[in-house]
Amino acid sequence: MKYRRIVGFGIAICLLLSERAYAQYLPNDTTINDNRFSGGTIAFVAGYSNSTDEALHQNGTSPTITIVDGAFFSGFGVGKSGSTINMSGGTAGSLSAVENATVNLSGGRRRP
């Protein structure tokens, strides 16, 4: 019986890691005006081209991400490496900024 917990915990970790793989990396300036980022827990990571660059904190790009009316995602949008996220419309699950990134909110709404 004690091994069921260990197996269950391992499966949970694998599922969480698989969600991470679905993050869209946005190394360039991008306008979000639709639901193309609504799939995973982490909707997008701005500031790196791929997971290797993100993990090693190398080759950061500092893009500007603009979220406007029509945008919809339930996951997290993360700005990294000095990127800027501007939200003036649409619906987002959550936005955060780390590694000298910035989030500016002038409109839109948070998905409950």
Give yes or no for residue 15 having a pLDDT over 50. Answer: no
As a whole number of angstroms, the distance between CA 76 and CA 85 comes to: 12
Residue 23 has a pLDDT of: 78
Buried b (16+ CB within 10 A) or exposed e, 1-39: eeeeeeeeeeeeeeeeeeeeeebbbbbeebebeeeebee
Give yes or no for residue 20 having a pLDDT over 50. Answer: no
Render pLDDT for 31-82 as a digit per residue (tens, 0 to 9). Answer: 999 998 887 788 899 999 999 999 999 999 999 999 999 999 888 899 999 9
pTM: 0.78
User: Tell me, what DSSP letter sits at residue 98?
Assistant: -
- The domain locations on the chain are 23-110
Residue 69, burial from CB neighbour count under 10 angstroms (0-12, 13-18, 19+): exposed
